[in-house]
Amino acid sequence: MTEHYQHRARKRFGQNFLHDAGVIDRILRSIHAKPEDRLLEIGPGQGALTQGLLKSGGQLDVVELDKDLIPILNQQFAGMPNFNLHQGDALKFDFTSLNAAPNSLRVVGNLPYNISTPLIFHLLNNAGIIRDMHFMLQKEVVERLAAGPGGGDWGRLSIMVQYHCRVEHLFNVGPGAFNPPPKVDSAIVRLVPHAVLPHPAKDHKLLERVVREAFNQRRKTLRNTLKALLSNAEIEAAGVDGSLRPEQLDLAAFVRLADQLAIQPAPAAE
């Protein structure tokens, strides 16, 4: 097993390998995989979580970008019938190619900071096949995902993820659990796609646009940040006070603004 330790973490992939057995066990207990589960691990690294996921008996697909890790993973796991390895970029991976049934795929990953947000949005585009997601992320990202209205962490990421999912900040993980130790704390988050959206928008793309515009200048009032999309009268017609700042609005209010925009003549594209 000496080869297991020959791979050095690469900065360009944002690699920090999990090695703390207690943390690994706690993550696996949080996931609680079962033999009938369809599992997808993104960025298995040197296989810290992979081993435990395979022991559950569930079918496991893994997606790894770093070509140098492929032989290490294959050496450890290729003989196991429930293991399937894909070399490639998770940001470009076609999750529908897994032929997972609706609401069946359980996604796991220790995600590098530089891809965490775009990858979560890529997965949300496939929310129909996903049952839940468990991610190790930078702690401040998890705080933003789980935030509520009124504070500095509440923003585009919180709103668009909570539109699709229930968010649970499970526990924090210190730098010492990794090799090399990152300069920041990490945290485990559970994202569970809603069976029924609590606040469905008429047009999801318009909701994204309203939220993006609103938070582009989060210190300004809504009547200023949204003036290219909605007049103050239209903001008021959505039941929203135009003198508020975007961080003061909850998800339902943003959906009402997007629905108001949906009944207006379409504004010119940017």
Cα gap 185→191, rounded to integer Å: 19
Domains and CATH numbers, the chain: 2-193 (3.40.50.150), 204-262 (1.10.8.100)
What token pair was written down for 81?
């019938």
User: 265 in helix, strand or coil?
Assistant: coil
The HSE-up count of residue 31 (CA atoms within 13 Å, CB side) is 32
pLDDT by residue for the chain (270 residues), tens only, comes to 333 434 454 444 445 788 899 999 999 999 999 999 999 999 998 899 999 999 999 999 999 998 999 999 999 999 999 999 999 999 999 999 999 999 999 999 988 778 899 999 999 999 999 999 999 999 999 999 999 999 999 999 999 999 999 999 999 999 999 888 888 999 999 999 999 999 999 999 999 999 999 999 889 999 999 999 999 999 999 999 999 999 999 999 999 999 999 997 655 555
* Annotated binding-site residue? 99: no
43 annotated as a binding-site residue: yes
Q: Is 110 flagged in the annotation as binding?
A: yes
Question: For residue 106, what are its two tokens?
Answer: 């359980």
Pick the closest to residue 19 from 190, 191, 174 (CA basis): 174
Structure tokens at 140: 């401040």
Q: CB neighbours (10 Å) of residue 267?
A: 12
Residue 98 marked as a ligand binder: no
CB 58 within 8 A of CB 82: yes
Q: In whole angstroms, what is the distance from residue 186 CA to residue 137 CA?
A: 6
pLDDT tens digits for range 28-42 = 999 999 999 999 999
Q: Structure pTM? A: 0.90
